[in-house]
Amino acid sequence: MIVIENISKQYNKQFALESVDAVIEKNRITGLIGPNGAGKSTLMKLICGYISPTSGNIIINDKEVNINNYEIKKIIGYLPENNPLYTDMYVKEYLHYIAGIYKLENKKEKIKEIIELTGLAKEQHKKIEALSKGYRQRVGLAQAIIHDPEVLILDEPTSGLDPNQIVDIRNLISELGKNKTVMLSTHILQEVEAICDSVLLLNNGKIITHDKTSNIQNNKNKNLVVEFDQNPLRQELLEIEGVVEARNPKNNIWIITSSENTDIRSAIFKFAVSKSLVVLSSQVQEMKLEEFFQSLTKKN
C-alpha cells in the first residue's frame, strides 16, 4: 500500500503538486491521468524517492520514502517517461548489468525469464541503439521488473508501441497487477478502462477525483442526444434543472449532458412543449471516460 499524505512540491513560486492526499491499494492497478503539466511525473518521482517533497510524506509498507531510503527503493520498479537506457550496450548485457546492481541471485535464469516475459527473445543480442522505440520500451519495462518489485511505477509504459505490442504489454501489466501495487500514467484513456482498478485524476497539481474505475464508469454524467424539429436556444436548455452542458453538433441535433444520476428526459419533453418544439428522437448515451476527463479538467 502507498499512502500519500499532504504532499506538495514547489519549484520557486510554482506548485507542481499541492496538498495531495491519496491511498493506493495493494495489488491493484491505479491509472494516473491528467493534462500535460498536471503533476503526474512529479508524483511518480516522489513515490520512487528520486526527488524530495517540499512538504508532506509518502509511506510504503509503513516506511517513509526519502532519497536516502535504499530499502524502499529495492522494492520499487520504475519506468520513467523518457526511458533512459545505455544504448551502446546489448539488450542481454544491459539486463545483466541491472541484475548486478540489484545483486540478484541466479542472474542468468532471471534474465532469461524476463526476456521471455517482455517479448525480447529475438532482440536480446542486438544493441539497444539498434532497437525500435517499441522494443526499447520493452527493455525499460524489463529493467523495472527484473528484481521482482512489490511496487511498480510506470510512466507512459505503452508509449511508442504498435497496436499489437500495446495489447501484449497491457496483458503483462494486468498479470503483474495481481501481486504487485502498480501505478501507471497514460494519455490513452481506453487503457485505463481496460486494465486499471482505480483512477486518480490530477489537474493543476491537485487531485480532482480518485475512485474505482467501475464507480467512475457507473457514475459518469450521461448524454441525451435529442433531435428537435427546430433549434432551441442553448441558454434556455442550460436553465433546465439537471443540465450541465448542451452542444449543437449539427442541424437540430443537441447533445445535452446531465449531472450524475439525473434523468432529464421528462424535463426535456416538458421544455419542448413549453417552447412549442417537437422532439423527433432522443437517445441516452453514457459519457466516455475521455468526455468525463474533459468535463472535469475544463472545470478546474
Do residues 169 and 163 touch, judged by C-beta distance below 8 A? Answer: no
Residues 114 and 143: their CA atoms lie apart, in Å, by 9
Which residue is associated with the grid cell 441525451? 224
User: What's the grid cell of residue 76?
Assistant: 520499487
- Give the mean pLDDT of 277-283: 92
Give 74's strand partners. Answer: none
Residues 260 and 120 both lie in one domain = no
Question: How many domains, in total, are found in the chain?
Answer: 2
Residues 180 and 235 both lie in one domain = no
Do residues 169 and 4 touch, judged by C-beta distance below 8 A? Answer: no
Burial 113-145 (b: 16+ CB within 10 A, else e): ebbebbbbeebbeeebeebeebbbbbbbbbbbb
Residues 167 and 44 both lie in one domain = yes
Q: Where are the alpha helices (DSSP H) in the chain?
A: 40-48, 70-74, 91-101, 107-117, 133-145, 163-176, 189-195, 213-219, 234-238, 265-274, 289-299
pLDDT higher than 60, residue 42: yes
The residue out of 195, 217, 239 marking a domain boundary is 217
Q: 71 CB contacts (<8 Å, ≥6 apart)?
A: 63
pLDDT higher than 70, residue 44: yes
* Number of neighbours of residue 39 by Cβ within 10 angstroms: 24
Residue 202 phi, psi dihedral angles, 5° rounding: -105, 145
Find the angle CA(11)-CA(14)-CA(15) to the nearest 5 degrees. Answer: 85
pLDDT higher than 80, residue 220: no
Give me the chain's average pLDDT, please.
Answer: 88
Do residues 170 and 266 touch, judged by C-beta distance below 8 A? Answer: no
Residues 22 and 56 both lie in one domain = yes
pLDDT higher than 70, residue 191: yes
Do residues 1 and 61 touch, judged by C-beta distance below 8 A? Answer: yes
Q: Range of 25's domain?
A: 2-217
Query: Is this structure's pTM higher than 0.85?
Result: no
Residues 142 and 187 both lie in one domain = yes
Find how far residue 211's CA is from the centre of its chain. 12
Q: What is the pLDDT of residues 135-185, one digit of tens each?
A: 998 999 999 999 999 999 999 888 778 888 888 888 889 988 888 999 999
Higher pLDDT, 263 or 54: 54
The residue out of 217, 250, 265 marking a domain boundary is 217
Residues 60 and 132 both lie in one domain = yes
pLDDT higher than 80, residue 285: no
Residues 183 and 282 both lie in one domain = no
Residues 176 and 247 both lie in one domain = no
Q: What is the pLDDT of residues 251-274, one digit of tens each?
A: 899 989 887 667 889 999 999 999
Residues 83 and 269: their CA atoms lie apart, in Å, by 54
* Number of neighbours of residue 217 by Cβ within 10 angstroms: 16
Residues 169 and 117: their CA atoms lie apart, in Å, by 10
Residues 211 and 289 both lie in one domain = no
Nearest residue to 292 via CA among 196, 222, 203: 222
Give 279's strand partners. Answer: 228
Number of Cα atoms under 13 Å in the Cβ half of residue 66: 8
User: What's the grid cell of residue 206?
Assistant: 491537485
Q: What is the per-residue pLDDT for 72?
A: 87
Residues 224 and 212 both lie in one domain = no
Q: What is the CATH number of the domain that holds 291?
A: 3.30.70.100
Q: What is the pLDDT of residues 235-255, one digit of tens each?
A: 999 999 988 888 888 889 998
Residues 247 and 153 both lie in one domain = no
The residue out of 179, 202, 217 marking a domain boundary is 217
Residues 31 and 162 both lie in one domain = yes
Q: What is the CATH number of the domain that holds 55?
A: 3.40.50.300
